[in-house]
Amino acid sequence: MHQDLNTGSNTSVNSEALENHSAETLVDSIVTASAKRPVCLTCSFQAEDMIVLHLLRKHLPALPVLFLETGYHFRETYEFRDRIAAEWQLNLVNAIPKKTVAQQESDFGILYREDPAKCCQLRKVEPLMESLEPFDIWFTGLRREQSPTRKNLKKIEQHRLPSGKTLLKVSPLADWTWAQVWEYTGKHNLSYLPQYDQGYSSIGCEPCTALPIDPANPRSGRWSGKKLECGIHTFSERAE
């Protein structure tokens, strides 16, 4: 029994059928079925996000690209974001927290050390959930292999935002391996964050990103190994 997911157009998407499709075919199918519906991509400019962005821009050159402007990113990440935004003429949307870094640190201290979950909530989760409100379809670069917390990820899911709004969450690379990511990156000559060449396998805010502790777990260098998710992909609940 398959599930048809209504994209808001006159066409529904058979989620189970698309699970076995290639990333490119899945993107083509979703974009075609959701013509004129508001679509976005959350993008940290890591290698996976660059691939999904590359696939989407073939259809949607003015696609809103949501970047979580936490104020704590690596200098190299900001430089890379700005270079790619200029070169690819991106419709870059910076999701900005309510408080600046200085205001937050004045009010709460250094949260990324004392309470990283709260820091992520204030600087990532809340700004993104608000930024997703105008959209019906949300593309991500998530992969099952990235973390044990993502092992059951489906390529197409319905997610409910805290406001109650439901949107289609699409992860075209869900079944990709790390080797496939770099094969595509090389084949299409895509630029990538320079931190990868330093040994990083998952790149977020600078204070909470280190070289991986466990080579088999790419996200084991995040948050000193104390947690694996910032909350973005767990705070928006699946709408079964």
Q: What is the mean pLDDT of residues 149-155?
A: 82
pLDDT in tens, 199-228: 888 899 999 888 877 666 565 655 555 544
Domains and CATH numbers, the chain: 4-238 (3.40.50.620)
Average pLDDT, rounded, for the chain: 86
The DSSP bridge partners found for residue 61 are: none
> Residue 11 pLDDT more than 50?
no
Q: Comparing 231 with 33, which gets the higher pLDDT?
A: 33
**Where do the H-state alpha helices sit in the chain?**
15-18, 23-33, 47-57, 75-87, 101-108, 111-114, 116-120, 126-131, 178-187, 232-235
pLDDT in tens, 183-196: 999 999 999 999 99
pLDDT in tens, 100-141: 999 999 999 999 888 988 999 999 999 999 999 999 999 999
What confidence score (pLDDT) does residue 1 get? 31
Nearest 10 degrees: Cα torsion 53, 54, 55, 57: 80
- Point out the residues that are catalytic: 230
> Residue 10 pLDDT more than 50?
no
